[in-house]
Amino acid sequence: MAGETEDIENLSFEDALRALETIVRQLESGDVPLEDSISLYEKGDKLRQHCQKRLDAAQARIERIVTGPDGAPNATQPFDAPER
């Protein structure tokens, strides 16, 4: 399991999302045995957490780059806030 967690941590957001989508399709198909379903669910949860962490980091970077008219840092604003 530790090696799998390290592998997930090295995935890009897009690769992790694709892996998560594949797991969701497998689970939704109903063709996966119970024990495998549990393992897939656990891996899917780790992928979801990884994606959320990557999104949070991207949002923090966007919040930090808000500048004033002179190009100097002016303030931070939430990612989804309307422009001033």
- CATH number for the domain including 23? 1.10.287
Task: Print the domain residue range for 22.
Answer: 2-64
| pLDDT at res. 71 | 65
pTM of model > 0.85:
no
- At 73, is the secondary structure helix, strand, or coil? strand
The total of structural domains in the chain comes to 1
Q: Is residue 83 part of a domain?
A: no
Q: Does residue 72 belong to any structural domain of this protein?
A: no
CA atoms of 70 and 68, how far apart (whole Å): 5
Distance, CA of 54 to chain centre: 5
Task: Say if 29 falls within a structural domain.
Answer: yes
What tens digit of pLDDT does each residue of 14-61 get? Answer: 999 999 999 999 999 999 999 999 999 999 999 999 999 999 998 887
